[in-house]
Amino acid sequence: MSATRSLVVASNNAGKLREFRELLEPLAWEVTSQAEHGISAVEETGLTFVENALLKARAACLGSGLPALADDSGLAVTALGGAPGIYSARYSGAQGDDRISNDRANNDKLLKALADVPEGQRGAHYHCVLVYMRHAEDPVPIIVQGSWPGEILSLPRGEGGFGYDPLFWVPEQGLSVAELSSELKNRISHRGRALAALLEQLER
């Protein structure tokens, strides 16, 4: 694989961008965000993670002229029938520019939704779909998925991460995601697993 690749990440989420840059750093790829190319966030009209990731990747390719990597990910809670799912980032309806406030509102709504669900019945998965598209008309984009099982806590723990990380308990680590080091999170997370699968595909 070439030591220098240019790639635009189809996301304005600072947390995701940081994770992607850390995960791709060993490969010496030049990673830019869609904002650096003046590309606005695309409307996520898909009904699945795959559909939304495809929409985002194609828009980033069109706007940048570069290969694009798009992520659509979220939290699926078993007791809530898979919610918040594709609506994870906007679960509470908060759409402001303050990511911390939005995350807090989403976490608050999730805790209320699970208020009557006892411990042991609060299983959940983080899901991530990655789409790598070489150009906007790529007929065979690479699509990979990663998932990460855990449980939802009744109170937030930890200061790291973003999104639902303070509420997502990883039993084998005995910690919430927000308490994990970024290195460990990148290695074992849904996004890390999906990216490992993507790199395996690219190397073929």
Which residues participate in the annotated binding site for Mg(2+)?
A: 43, 72
Provide the annotated binding site for substrate.
11-16, 73, 162-165, 185, 190-191
Provide the annotated binding site.
11-16, 43, 72-73, 162-165, 185, 190-191
> Of 71, 72, 97, 108, which residue is the catalytic one?
72
Q: Is there a catalytic annotation at residue 97?
A: no
Cβ atoms within 10 Å, residue 154: 13
Q: Which residues contact 55 (CB under 8 A, 6 or more apart)?
A: 42, 43, 44, 45, 46, 70
Cα 108 to Cα 138, 162, 166, 201: the distances in Å are: 40, 14, 11, 38
Residue given tokens 């635009």 in the structure block: 8
Measure the CA–CA gap between 121 and 7, rounded to whole angstroms: 41
Tell me which residues are annotated as active site: 72
